[in-house]
């Protein structure tokens, strides 16, 4: 029940709920058509090696270019796709498209793809990933799969088996939004992730928050002890970047360093970029 502290706030809350539900309903109806009409796009946001300032990877972020509503962010349609099961074909499309785009990039930066819970539990996931890599002829170690705690849900043997099968393919696995769930540490104990990506919540109030700094310092220690790359997301200011550099993070991502852009634009950025570890693709 909404509080009625301010005049009319109860009514506004109810109306807001209705609008949100209407939107979800519309999205559900329109999303399948949107996929077949080719209205879904992947934008890419770079991840930088903090020490060398090189782009190590680009994260694929889904967008829906709606003919009337413009560019719709993933938070407005990924959850709906998840509820309706559409995330299975949608997620497969994201994997295929991301691998195909990355295979044509001018430097061999990795591509990071987000997985959703239903997608992760689907028995065809490992096969879908293998097929996407093969179709694009992309080296498996150039694909990084980002998995949040909500994807793992429980510490089950099934989750572990899936993670191991993915690892067996040669892809890298990152724990995304680290620190926001209940048992982030438990997952680190049961599976050797390649990367810990700390949620931007811990970056937002840098450099003035001793608490955030203490947590970030602990994550760097964990990463070093466990042999995992440590990454921060949501770096928006030079002060935040300085702080995470001082703490010893390996990678950073955020609006300060690069916003998500369409693939064509990312290709231009990568062309002007010094090659990662001196390696340039021959094609």
The correct pick among 31, 48, 50, 116 for binding ligand C2E (CB under 6 A) is 116
SS3 breakdown of the chain: % helix, strand, coil, rounded to 5?
50, 20, 30
- 95 makes contact with ligand C2E (CB under 6 A): no
E strands, 5-122, are 40-49, 55-66, 70-72, 110-114
Instruction: Give whichever of 50 and 115 is closer to ligand C2E, judged by the CB atom.
Output: 115
Which residues would be at the binding site for Mg ion (CB under 5 A)? 114, 146, 176-177, 199, 233
Q: 249: which residues sit within 8 A by CB, 6+ positions away?
A: 50, 216, 220, 230, 231, 232
- Binding segment for ligand C2E among 48-56, 74-82, 161-169, 211-219 (CB under 6 A)? 74-82
Q: Report which of 155, 143, 214, 211 is spatially closest to residue 184, judged by C-alpha positions.
A: 155
The H or E element that residue 177 is part of is strand 172-178
- 223 makes contact with ligand C2E (CB under 6 A): no
The correct pick among 11, 52, 73, 280 for binding ligand C2E (CB under 6 A) is 73
Cβ 232 to ligand C2E shortest distance, Å: 10
- 74 makes contact with ligand C2E (CB under 6 A): yes
Cα dist from 214 to 179, 189, 222, 252, whole Å: 13, 21, 12, 18
- 254 makes contact with ligand C2E (CB under 6 A): yes
Cβ 95 to ligand C2E shortest distance, Å: 9
The correct pick among 101, 108, 149, 177 for binding ligand C2E (CB under 6 A) is 177
- 233 makes contact with ligand C2E (CB under 6 A): yes
Instruction: Give whichever of 75 and 225 is closer to ligand C2E, judged by the CB atom.
Output: 75
Cβ 260 to ligand C2E shortest distance, Å: 5
Nearest 5 degrees, angle CA 210-CA 215-CA 218? 125
Q: For residues 95 and 135, what is the distance between their CA atoms, to the nearest angstrom?
A: 11
Residues forming contacts to ligand C2E in the complex (CB under 6 A) are 45, 61-62, 73-75, 78, 94, 114-116, 146, 176-177, 200, 233-236, 253-255, 260
């Amino acid at each position: 029940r909404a509080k009625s502290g301010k005049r009319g706030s109860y009514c506004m809350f109810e109306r807001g709920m209705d609008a949100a539900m209407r939107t979800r309903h519309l999205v559900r109806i329109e999303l399948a058509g949107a996929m077949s009409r080719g209205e879904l796009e992947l934008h890419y946001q770079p991840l930088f090696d903090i020490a060398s300032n090189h782009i190590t990877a680009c994260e694929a972020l889904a967008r829906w270019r709606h003919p009337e509503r413009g560019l719709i962010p993933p938070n407005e349609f990924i959850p709906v796709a998840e509820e309706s099961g559409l995330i299975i074909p949608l997620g497969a499309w994201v994997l295929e498209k991301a691998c195909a785009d990355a295979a044509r990039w001018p430097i061999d930066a990795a591509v990071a793809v987000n997985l959703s819970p239903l997608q992760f539990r689907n028995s065809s996931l490992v096969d879908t990933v293998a097929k996407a890599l093969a179709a694009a002829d992309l080296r498996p170690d150039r694909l990084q799969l980002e998995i949040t705690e909500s994807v793992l849900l429980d510490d089950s043997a099934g989750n572990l088996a899936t993670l191991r099968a993915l690892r067996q393919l040669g892809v890298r696995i990152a724990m995304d939004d680290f620190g926001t769930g209940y048992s982030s540490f438990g997952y680190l104990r049961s599976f050797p992730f390649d990367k810990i990506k700390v949620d931007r919540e811990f970056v937002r109030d840098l450099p003035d928050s001793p608490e955030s700094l203490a947590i970030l310092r602990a994550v760097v220690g964990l990463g070093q002890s466990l042999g995992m790359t440590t990454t921060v997301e949501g770096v928006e200011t030079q002060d935040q970047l300085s702080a995470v550099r001082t703490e010893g993070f390996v990678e950073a991502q955020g609006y300060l360093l690069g916003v998500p852009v369409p693939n064509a634009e990312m290709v231009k950025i990568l062309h002007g970029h010094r090659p990662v570890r001196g390696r340039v693709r021959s094609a």
